[in-house]
Amino acid sequence: MAVKNDMTKDFLHSAYGGESLAHMRYLTWSKVAEKEGFKNIAKLFTAIAYAERVHAENHFKEIGGPTNDYTVTAGGVFGYNNTVDNLQGAIDGELHEVEQMYPVYLNAAEFQGEKGAQRSFRYALEAEKIHAKMFKEAQDLAKEGKDLDIEAVYICPVCGHTIYDEAPDKCPVCGAKKELYKKF
Ligand SMILES: [Fe+2]
Ligand SMILES: [Fe+2]
């Protein structure tokens, strides 16, 4: 069902824009990491790009409504640098979402009784907390010229929950089954 209240609707559009930008940015930074020889950091960027796409799609579905134009205002991190600097951009972006953006958006959706938007914002908030930590760990290693020591990254296709090496039996955020997780 389409969102009813304008304020929550604006926040969904903005979050959709922000997640779409993050999706593209991480794919670009993944290629930089690959070139610098950080194969697993490149994989982390690619996997998390997919998680941001899941968030964007969730927000898009919650906006719903008729097919029409809408001007989207969304914040995004820019910069095309080395992997250590790119990871700083990633950390800054994720922390902005965790500490400012999603808590405020979630509060608005709760205040306005927008259940679907609440779910969509909550899913993103929980995933971004994990992303901020993962990018920080990756950056600490990259500063020493080291790559992440991981086998794979798993992403929940429903909420974007992100975990290394093995998917849980049930997603701790949305309850999706292990088999649904996408492996990178
Ligand atoms: Fe994220
Ligand atoms: Fe999930």
- Domains defined along the chain, listed by start: 6-64+72-150 (1.20.1260.10)
Instruction: Give, for 15, the enclosing helix (H) or strand (E).
Output: helix 6-35
Mean pLDDT throughout 56-66? Answer: 97
Block residue for tokens 């907390």: 129
- Reported confidence tier of residue 13, pLDDT bands at 50, 70, 90: very high
Cα of 166 vs centre of ligand 2, distance in Å, is 14
Cα of 26 vs centre of ligand 1, distance in Å, is 10
Ligand nearest to the CA of 95: 1
Mean pLDDT throughout 130-141? Answer: 98
- Whether residue 76 contacts residue 15, with contact meaning beta carbons closer than 8 Å, is answered with no
Mean pLDDT throughout 28-43? Answer: 98
pLDDT for 46:
98
The C-alpha atoms of residue 78 and residue 72 are separated, in whole angstroms, by: 17
Cα of 37 vs centre of ligand 1, distance in Å, is 23
The C-alpha atoms of residue 139 and residue 85 are separated, in whole angstroms, by: 8
Cα of 177 vs centre of ligand 2, distance in Å, is 8
Instruction: Give, for 86, the enclosing helix (H) or strand (E).
Output: helix 83-96
Ligand nearest to the CA of 123: 2
Cα of 1 vs centre of ligand 1, distance in Å, is 25
pLDDT per residue over 156-181, tens digit each? 999 999 999 999 999 999 999 999 99
Q: What percentage of the chain carries pLDDT values higher than 90? A: 99
- Whether residue 115 contacts residue 129, with contact meaning beta carbons closer than 8 Å, is answered with no
Nearest residue to 155 (alpha-carbon basis) of 137, 168, 144? 168
Position 128 pLDDT exceeds 90? yes
- Radius of gyration from C-alpha coordinates of the chain: 16
pLDDT for 70:
94
Position 1 pLDDT exceeds 80? no
What is the residue-averaged pLDDT of the chain? 97
Cα of 165 vs centre of ligand 1, distance in Å, is 18
pLDDT for 59:
98
Mean pLDDT throughout 12-39? Answer: 98
pLDDT per residue over 67-95, tens digit each? 999 999 999 999 999 999 999 999 999 99
Number of neighbours of residue 110 by Cβ within 10 angstroms = 15
pLDDT for 5:
97
**DSSP letters for 146-166:** PPP--S-EEE-TTT--EEESS
Cα of 161 vs centre of ligand 2, distance in Å, is 5
Mean pLDDT throughout 121-136? Answer: 98
Cα of 112 vs centre of ligand 1, distance in Å, is 25
